[in-house]
Structure formats: structure tokens, C-alpha cells
Structure 1
Amino acid sequence: MILPVIMAGGSGSRLWPLSRQTFPKQYLTLHGEHSMLQSTALRLVGIEHQPPMVICNEEHRFSVAEQFRANDIANSGIILEPVGRNTAPAIALAAFKALQDCNDALLLVLAADHLILDNAAFCQSVHQASEHAKTGKLVTFGIVPTAPETGYGYIKRGEAIHGAAFTVSEFVEKPDSQTAERYIDCGNYYWNSGMFLFKASRYLEELKAHRPDIYQACEKAMADIQSDADFVRVNKEAFEACPDDSVDYAVMEKTTQAVVVPMDCGWSDVGSWSALWEIENKDESGNAFKGDVLAIDTTNSYINAQDKLVAVIGLDDVVVVETKDAILVSKKSEVQKVKNIVNQLKAQDRSEFKSHREVYRPWGKYDSVDSSERFQVKRITVKPGAKLSVQMHHHRAEHWVVVSGTAKVTNGDKTILLTENQSTYIPIGVIHALENPGKVELELIEVQSGSYLGEDDIVRFEDNYGRA
């Protein structure tokens, strides 16, 4: 049976300011009703499969778990990478885990941040590919190209084999525009989708043959794992020593057993705001609007308003994306340079590159409403039954005012219940905790004051989420 392996790492910097390091594009709802991660898992309904395995970094573990829980999606484990080492090691971790579970399944490797519009065509290609994967072939899926794209790698097909598949003649790097047009005219090239299907054991055999250093590092990392609920933590020191390489370079370009199966499914890697504009429904002026937007004499544009009214006048071929703490305005043809903005933000150590003003936590979320040098105001939402860690702060005091719901508060040696319009004060250095004992969300306003207000000024004593 097929074991889906969903690769949920990556930062998605080309979709800033919606995508941030702590909440990248795979966790965003960009098209339709579900996040890209949820859509990736839900499109598997047409395939007989085991619960998917997910690979992500430690920072995103609660986002993955919560998004699966919200849609009642089971999983075969969430493997946490202590550092990013590209796709070849990540897939190796999944393969070793499958074999540890006595499960030499067909691994269907999928990216969590791809969009597929024709689910039936996707499933049909997977069924066709499984015939070849069962015989020991390493199958890659080639997207039938619709345009001479220069942002994708290409796969050149070789001889036809049974079951609508071809041998792989060559993997080609991203071409220039003239070369891409030649590929399209030739008809023997596909876009490299980054999706694969192969047996766990066969992948490891090929990896061991061509990149024994990666194989050995991943084998060592998986020999010393720790499991915590859905999470699987590998040996940090061993994995940090693993070389960084993609599955294409490490295995697929070296093996003699590569097969490509064409896939014509309305695929997009949603690699830019212009790519998202292309797949969205548009009005008679060629505009795609999200949120509260007013437009006059505006054409061929993508406007996404997350928090405020956005009004545009007399614009053509632009992208405008508004969030609570940042606004992007760009020519649609120049959006690939968004990554340069992110690099500048990172170099300046600005928070806008890393996280949103509204930050999700396993217990709920908080929104940093206002701040200055010695105070910060947050709106905190706690899910029913959830509890924040038992903690204290060395440099700040906190005032909590309940807006709605019921709060169970530990404040030093006292435990009290607070309801709407009631408040408490927590001095510097006092051990405290916050819990929602009710059946509806708890909302409160927190005012922090002190000489240092960073998130790292937290000493945790007890925590339901393994952070103590």
C-alpha cells in the first residue's frame, strides 16, 4: 500500500508578507477552503493509502498537528528535523522510519505547498506510477507543460514503456526563455514536479550506492529517536552532520532505474504572487481580489487585504498584499524580487521576516496589538481546555483583563477564576499559569511592562507541549 510522505519544510519567502518563517505558505489558505498542507493530505482520498507521514522542522510541529486535527486527518507520524538538510536526507528519514515499522511501503513523496486543481488526474497518474514502483523503479512525476516557464526544472523523457511511462533521458536545470520555448515545441519535456513514488527499501539502496555519506548520517539519526505523541525526534547531532542535497542530485540523476510518468492535473507550485493570480478566478477587468478591496480603473491585478480596507485607483498589472504589520506593493512582473526584500529584513533582524503580528501557539494564539520600549499589549486567545505553561519572568510584570470566557489563573500560591471584565496582576518573578476550563474560547488583554519584553524571558516549570 502507498505511504504518503508530505514534505512540509521550507520558508515560502516568495509569498511574503503572508508567508513568514514561523508560518510559511504551506500552512496558509491561499486557494479554496483549506491550507495547502491540508489540501495535500485531502487530495489523497482517491488513492488507497496509509495515513500520511509528515516531515517538518521543530518550529512548525504544532501547526502541522493542529491542521491535521482540525480536519480529522490521521497521520503515521510527524518527523521533526532539527535542521534543514534538503530533500534527499528528509526522504531517507521517512524511508528508515517506514522500515523500522516493518512497512516497506511505496513512498509517495509530496510537497506540502503545491496546488493541484484536477484531483482525478493526479490520482490516475499515481495509480499508473505504482505499477512501476512495485517492480523497483524510482518514479518521478513530470508535469505536462502549459507554457515555456523558466522558473522550473525540466525532465526529458526517453523510451516509452508500458503503462503511460517513459525512461528518464535527462534532468535539466531551469532554462532561459529561448531554451524553454524549444522544450515546449519539442514535446519531449516535462516540468519537474518534485513528486516521487518508490519503495522505501529501493530508495535507501540507491541512496546508499550513490550517497553513502547521507545514508549513514540518516541511519545513525534514526537509530536514536524519541517519540512524543505524534512527534518523532531524530538524533540532533547525527542529523546535523548530514550533508545537504536534493533527491534529484543525490539519487534521481544518478540512478539507472528512473522512470517518469506524465501528470496533467492543473499543477502549480504557487511560487509567486503572479502564479497565484494566474489560478484565481478573475473579474471582467482581470482582477483577483481577496478581502475588503475597493478598486477604480484597476486591471489585471492581484489585491489581498487581510486586515484593513485596501483601495486602489488607476493601477494595472500590480500586486498588493496587506497584513497587520506589513504591506507589499509590486509590479506583477517583478514579484520574484520579493525574496530580496525578505533577505533585507533578515539582514536587519526585523521581526517582519520571521513572524506575523498574530502568532499561533498550541494552546491558541496571541496578537501583539501595541508596544513600546517598556510596555507591550497582547490580545490572547486560549482554546477550550487548553493551558499555557507554568512559568515566570525575570524582567516583566503582567496585567490580565478577561474580555470573554473564563480564566483559571495560578498567581503565586493562589488559584482563582476570572470572568468577563475581571482582572489580575502578576508581579515580576512570580510563578503563574493561565488555563481555559470552559467550553468556549477565552479572550483576554495582557499588558506587559518592564525592562525587557522578549519572548525568551520565560522560565517554564511545567508544560503540556514538551517545552519545559
Structure 2
Amino acid sequence: MDRRIVPLIMCGGAGTRLWPASREVRPKQFLPLFGARSTFQDTVLRVSDKALFERPIVITNMAYRFMVLEQLAEIGLEADILLEPARRDSGPAIAAGAVFAELRDAEAIVLALAADHVVRNAAPFIAACRQGLAAAAGGRIVTFGVQPERAATEYGYISPGEVIAGEVRAVAEFVEKPDPATAAGYISAGYLWNSGNFMFRASVLLDEYRNVDAESIAAVREAVGKAGCDLGFVTLDPQSFEKALAISIDYAVMEKTSRASVVPVSCGWSDVGSWHAVWELSARDEQGNAAQGAAVFENSRNCNVSTDKALVALEGVDDLVVVATEDAVLVSRQKDANGLKRLVAKVKTVAPEVTQNHLKVHRPWGSYQSVANGDRHQVKRITVKAGERLSLQKHHHRSEHWIVVRGTARVTVDDLVKIVHENESIYIPIGAVHRLENPGKILLELIEVQTGSYLGEDDIIRIEDDYQRS
């Protein structure tokens, strides 16, 4: 058939299963875990063939909207970006995407994909999409069942039933994550891993959802119908969307519908749900050690190291995960993903900022990173992208001294507007209304020295802002 598929990329999760690399303000789907691109970028690229796929829809939230836009621009692609005003799990999110797709095309066939999954072999995945397309057009809700590579306990399973057409089978049963013995039994019985990715005609998914929760579908339809537009983003109506019940699409629809079908696929899939999964997907030496960043191993086996800058050296240890960022170091056992979850919960009570933000904080105009802190002073490295500018703002408690180390800055201080070149500086007194711009063609980089009685980010009074944060 010649109908094309609408990719719906689910990109709003904030899991910390890969802490300390993944944090709430920049979670794992935006990280380059396996090369130069993030899993979000790889996911979008995987469904970018215009012969098979329509313009994608990305559903995310306000906190991630500019990261989505920036990462799409880096790979030269565009999308319609829907913003959830509150997290309601995958059920309402997928429903909102389906309503939006249906408004574009009443017969739209949607492929809902998680942005943080890895597919090592795209060709069989695309082939599975083609297999599922006719079934979805015919009214089935198709999921992708991954041929198991081992008796995994971290995934749910699908029992395939009768043949629908070609490789498409009816779903006989969805089962929850098993214990090891049960998982081994599932493998012997021909069960498949539940990948949590789905294809469906938008109208069918919404009808099946409405049959079990009409109020939530009404709320989602109202949220899309009353949606606004903010800097090109589609902003779902908050009051309407928050009426929808927070629930996963599995519980809301897939385990209740009689239309569930499955396409078996073997494509090197992983949900990258732990550092052990990262190790499984990484290149390893003869002793089974994997490293991203500078690492040295001696008499060590099956270890996984990820480090931003510091050299990590391991001697005489086996089956360890070591993750070193600039402000946190994790050392854990390879296979205890639940232990990491408990650890992060404890870290939140002691140092919550380390679970939320990286030292390098990304903003729509660029980034800033604290490089030194002391009594009444702080030093930051600030970068501003070409053509971008910060808000027009002032501070009640601090003054700032900017030194340009690369590029050219246009600086407003009250009524003064001045061009500041490399190796030049400018002073911003307490209370002065000021703005920093990059009028040039290359990245602007400067060092900011703050002094004052209070240096928190909440001492920013925005007067004008290109990103509507005033």
C-alpha cells in the first residue's frame, strides 16, 4: 500500500536510570551514549525516509522543547512539536499525538516510538513497519515483539497467537516482567519481548481508548482543540490535559483491546534501561571491559566506564560500573539496576541538585557552566550561539564582569550599547538593566565573574525575553 506512516516520537521522560549522566533537566534520550548522536536523534533519523514516513510529531514538555528543536536542527530535520503541560504517562501522551495526527489526516496511521530506545539494525525494523502497515490500516493495533536474545527479567513479554496476515500475529497474552525461571519458560514457549512501540490508525486507537476511559479521551481532545502556539510549539491546554488519567498505554488500551497484534522483529533493540544495558550495547575489549572516555583496565573484567574528563583506572575488579561526571561519581555493580534506583532516591535527599542539573546547563541561547564557587563570588563559562541573545534582565544582589575569550559580544548596560571583542571585558553593576547578544557568525564564549551577597539563578528579573520566560 502507498499510505505513509506518521512517526510519533515520545520524548518527555525524565528517568534517572542512567544517573549521573542522565538527569532530570537533560535525560538519557538527549545524550550521545553510543556515538555522536543522541538516541532521540537516531530515532528520528530511523523514520525519516519520506517514501514511507510523513513529517514526524514529537511530544515532549516545556523543559525539553529547545533541546528537541536544537537536536532536530543538528540532523537537518523538522517536526511538529507538542508540549505536555503535565506528565500523564504514555496513555494520554500517545492519545494527544493521535488526535493531532487525525486532525492532519482523518485516516492517519501513527507509529508511536520511545525516543530513548536503541535499534542497532534499522533494516529489519523498517521491514517490520512495512509488515504492520496493512494490519494497522485494517484496524489492528500493532506492537513490535522483539525476538529475545536472552531470558531477560527487565522486560514484559508477549505471547503471539493466531496469524493475522504475513508475519502479523494476534496477541494471545501480555505478561509482566518475570523472574529468571519464568523468563526462561517464556523463551522456550516462543514469547517475545514487549518493546513498547506501537502502530495504529489514529481513529482506532482513540476509539479503543474511549471504550475504557471516555473522560480521558474527551480531556485530551479538548486539550488539543484548545492548544496554543508558542514560538512554533503546539502547547496543549493545561486545564484540559490535566483531567486525563495518568496511565501507560499498555494498561489503558493494549491489555484491554481485542485488536492487539504483534509483528516479530530481530533488530538489536534495547530500551537502554540500565548501565548494564549500555555495557551490552558497547564495544568491549578481550576481557569484556567497555569504556566511553579515558579509561585504563588492569586485571579487571566485564567493567563499564563512562567518564567526561577524568581518567578512570581500574585494577583487580570485575563487573563494576564507574560513571564519572564533573560533579558526581557512581560506582556500582553491573546488574543491580534496582540498587541504583534506591541510591538516586537517597542522593535526592542529600544533594537534589545533582539529580536534576548538570554543571553545564543548556539554555535555548547556548549554555553556562559554573567553574568556581566561593564566598560571595562565582565564576562561569558562558557560550551564546550565533544570532542568539539572553533576556534583558537585572539582578538585585550581584554584579557581573564579562571577559570575552572567543567571538564578539554586543552588550547592553542601561542606555549603553557596546561591542566587546576577544580579550576585552565589561562590567555590569548591581541593578543595571543588561543584555548579552552574539551578533557574529561563530560561537561566543566568555568568562563571567559574579560578586555579591546572593548568587542564585532566581535573582534574575527578566524584562524582555525572546523565549517568553519573562
Deviations 1:323-354 (A, max 9, x none): 11111111212244222222122233521100
Question: Among 268, 277, 287, which residue is 1:266 paired with?
Answer: 268
Work out the CA distance in 2 between the residues paired with 1:37 and 1:13.
Answer: 16
Name the SS of the counterpart of 2:17 in structure 1: helix
- What letter matches 2:91 in structure 1? A
Name the SS of the counterpart of 2:423 in structure 1: coil
Q: Which residue of 2 aligns with 1:85?
A: 88
Work out the CA distance in 1 between the residues paired with 2:130 and 2:104.
Answer: 24
Displacement of 1:103 in angstroms is 4.7
Q: Which residue of 1 aligns with 2:372?
A: 370
Q: Which residue of 2 aligns with 1:112?
A: 115
Q: Which residue of 2 aligns with 1:98?
A: 101
The answer on 1:44 being equivalent to 2:47 is: yes
TM (norm. structure 1) is: 0.97
On the 8 A contact 1:389/1:464 being kept in 2, the answer is yes
Deviations 1:35-85 (A, max 9, x none): 00000011124561112110111101010000000110121x111111110
Displacement of 1:295 in angstroms is 2.2
Q: Which residue of 2 aligns with 1:244?
A: 246
Q: Describe how 1:380-459 pairs up with structure 2 within 5 A.
A: 380-459=382-461
Question: Among 5, 11, 15, which residue is 1:12 paired with?
Answer: 15
Deviations 1:281-305 (A, max 9, x none): 1111111111111222222111111
Question: Among 6, 11, 33, which residue is 1:3 paired with?
Answer: 6
Unpaired runs of 5+ in structure 2?
A: none
Question: Among 17, 21, 26, which residue is 1:23 paired with?
Answer: 26
Question: Among 355, 363, 369, which residue is 2:357 paired with?
Answer: 355
On the 8 A contact 1:272/1:336 being kept in 2, the answer is no
Q: Describe how 1:190-209 pairs up with structure 2 within 5 A.
A: 190-209=192-211
Deviations 1:335-379 (A, max 9, x none): 442222221222335211001001111111111111234222110
Q: Which residue of 2 aligns with 1:148?
A: 151
The answer on 1:32 being equivalent to 2:35 is: yes
The answer on 1:181 being equivalent to 2:189 is: no
Work out the CA distance in 2 between the residues paired with 1:193 and 1:157.
Answer: 14
Work out the CA distance in 2 between the residues paired with 1:373 and 1:194.
Answer: 50
Off by >6 Å, runs of 4+ in structure 1: none
Q: Which residue of 1 aligns with 2:308?
A: 306
Deviations 1:101-133 (A, max 9, x none): 345311100000000011000000000000100
Unpaired runs of 5+ in structure 1?
A: none
Query: For residues 356 and 145 of structure 1, do their structure 2 counterparts lie closer, same or farther at Cα, with a shift above 3 Å needed?
Result: same
Work out the CA distance in 2 between the residues paired with 1:99 and 1:171.
Answer: 28
Name the SS of the counterpart of 1:100 in structure 2: helix
Q: Which residue of 1 aligns with 2:463?
A: 461
Query: For residues 462 and 103 of structure 1, do their structure 2 counterparts lie closer, same or farther at Cα, with a shift above 3 Å needed?
Result: farther
Work out the CA distance in 2 between the residues paired with 1:33 and 1:349.
Answer: 30
- What letter matches 1:101 in structure 2? R
Displacement of 1:223 in angstroms is 1.9
TM (norm. structure 2) is: 0.97
Q: Describe how 1:35-74 pairs up with structure 2 within 5 A.
A: 35-46=38-49, 48-74=52-78
- What letter matches 1:275 in structure 2? A
On the 8 A contact 1:227/1:233 being kept in 2, the answer is yes
- What letter matches 1:5 in structure 2? L
The answer on 1:332 being equivalent to 2:334 is: yes
Displacement of 1:165 in angstroms is 1.2
The answer on 1:131 being equivalent to 2:122 is: no
Work out the CA distance in 2 between the residues paired with 1:307 and 1:32.
Answer: 16
- Greater CA drift, 452-461 or 255-264: 452-461
Query: For residues 285 and 349 of structure 1, do their structure 2 counterparts lie closer, same or farther at Cα, with a shift above 3 Å needed?
Result: closer
Identity of aligned residues (%): 48
- Greater CA drift, 48-57 or 107-116: 48-57
- What letter matches 1:79 in structure 2? L
Displacement of 1:9 in angstroms is 1.4
Give the aligned length. 466
- Greater CA drift, 118-127 or 445-454: 445-454
Q: Describe how 1:279-290 pairs up with structure 2 within 5 A.
A: 279-290=281-292
Displacement of 1:409 in angstroms is 0.2
Work out the CA distance in 1 between the residues paired with 2:429 and 2:400.
Answer: 7
Work out the CA distance in 2 between the residues paired with 1:429 and 1:52.
Answer: 45
Work out the CA distance in 1 between the residues paired with 2:244 and 2:456.
Answer: 33
